[in-house]
Amino acid sequence: MQTIYKTVGVVGTGAMGRGIAQIAAQTGSVVILMDAQSGAAEKAREALFSQWDKLVEKGRIDAGVASGYKRQLRVAGALAELSGCDLVIEAIVERLDIKKTLFAELETIVPAQTVLASNTSSLSVTAIAAALKHPERFAGYHFFNPVPLMKVVEVIAGLKTSADTCHGLSQYARQMGHTPVQAQDTPGFIVNHAGRGYGTEALRIVSEGIADFATIDRILRDQAGFKLGPFELMDLTGLDVSHPVMESIYHQYYEEDRYRPSVITAQRLAGGVLGRKTGEGFYRYEGSAAQVPAEAPVPEVTEMPPVWVSHRAARRSELLDLLKTLGAQIETGQSPSLQALTLVAPLGFDITTVAVVERLDPARTVGIDMLIDDAATKRRVLATNPATRSDMRDAAHALFARDGKAVSVIRDSGGFVTQRVIATIVNIASDICQQRICSPQDLETAVTLGLGYPRGPLAMGNLYGPTNVLEVLFNMQTVYGDQRYRPSPWLRRRGAIGLSLLQEES
């Protein structure tokens, strides 16, 4: 294969640097590994040789192919040996001063046509290039770990980066079998920026005492289709990685409320409770297996009360059909009888507010989350308010579990769990587009490949309805009085006129 960059230098031989070196060599480039730590580059080369040998043993590549890859991989003892490179990629520690020093030295070694790139995940590309004489040839080139499997790379232009530099890096990413996405030089770029809603909102739900870690993970997996719940994901990543990213993006955006970190992760980080790597995080681990607490059993209810459904309930007709299928005795009057279990299905509001506004008896009022079509979910979520009687809570739980579908019962929350997490994700994604950080399509590609969401955040907003997401956000802002939930103009305008969230302005 004829590659754009025939010789590529990789500085830094940790997991990220090795991964970049691996795919560059497999693309046909001569790769020169360099590390300031004595012997590290040699160890990285041996690790890659071993990896290719294992692929041969498994029959995934031929021995001749592996030998070719090995011939492409070389080790440098000093930066000066990178003088013949067409591209140098840095994958060292995330410290601005160290990166600036490295590139200043590289600029004195490599010729003027050599492209310089940083794999930084959180630092300003413009700031790294500030002291360079030729910042136009410098860009961010952010891969994700493990590099061979995570098939997206962010190409980030600093203020003075040339279009040709970004074009060449994008083309090379495609040659490596990756999908490039173009991002402006903003905190978190695309993926780490778009990912702020999932974990931080889940942490807020826990901090309000609404549900525990395992319940929130179950809800977001089973009801919304995420592969991992937010606490499972943070345990996998490690709080030593995820919490500093929360802090960094929050402070770089001058304490923007949408990105506010949580004292929960700060405390756990300080206590060394980091996740799988320490054997304890939000879950305890025996080997690699998380010790997940069992779900509460379905209550036994001998006599089921009649059920009355609020006339303002979301998806009211679908909810009534579901209740008929479950064999409920449904009341059809304008108001519930004194014996009735009263069901509400708000968007964004908490159950207490709905009970007060609709003049319902809070002791008999239970909420159900109907944002998502019941047929499309594996779990139903109910919410009580502080006055809900235990018999009414248990009756609702038993009723909605009659067909065998899982049921979670949480405490009162504006937006339940799924509504508020999805709305936060969609809102942050909308504002990324509003700020022109990237195109809507690049955002969708980056998030689905980089975060593994069931669909892109804008497609998620379209699926559940921009007007519904807007209603959730407006109502949550009313409940909590928090600017965190103010809708992005991108979402507000498209929701108001019925446009797709993927629709760019002409």
DSSP for 222-236 reads: HTT--SS-HHHHHHH
| Catalytic residue, candidates 29, 90, 118, 154 | 154
Provide the H-helix boundaries in 301-439. 316-325, 351-357, 390-400, 418-434
| Catalytic residue, candidates 121, 242, 385, 430 | 121
The pair of structure tokens assigned to 64 is 């001749």
Cα→Cα distances 453→198, 259, 285, 300, 374, Å? 10, 19, 25, 36, 20
Question: Cβ atoms within 10 A of the Cβ of 30, count?
Answer: 19
Is 286 designated active site? no
- Tell me which residue has tokens 């996998």: 236
Identify residue 47 by its one-letter amino acid code: A
User: What whole-number distance in Å separates Cα of residue 347 and Cα of residue 370?
Assistant: 8
Residue pair 220/226 in contact by the 8 Å Cβ criterion: yes
Which residues, 6+ apart, have CB-to-CB distance to 458 below 8 Å?
426, 429, 430, 433, 440, 443, 444, 500, 501, 502
Which residues, 6+ apart, have CB-to-CB distance to 319 below 8 Å?
309, 313, 343, 345, 368, 370, 374
| Catalytic residue, candidates 29, 170, 192, 468 | 192
390 DSSP β-pair partners: none
Dihedral, 305, 308, 309, 312 alpha carbons, nearest 10: -140
Q: Is 226 left (phi over 0), alpha (psi -120 to 50) or beta?
A: beta
Is 192 designated active site? yes
Altogether, the residues listed in the chain come to a count of: 506
User: What whole-number distance in Å separates Cα of residue 61 and Cα of residue 77?
Assistant: 30
Is 413 designated active site? no
Is 121 designated active site? yes
User: What whole-number distance in Å separates Cα of residue 454 and Cα of residue 221?
Assistant: 10
| Catalytic residue, candidates 142, 178, 193, 243 | 142
Which residues are annotated as catalytic? 121, 142, 154, 192
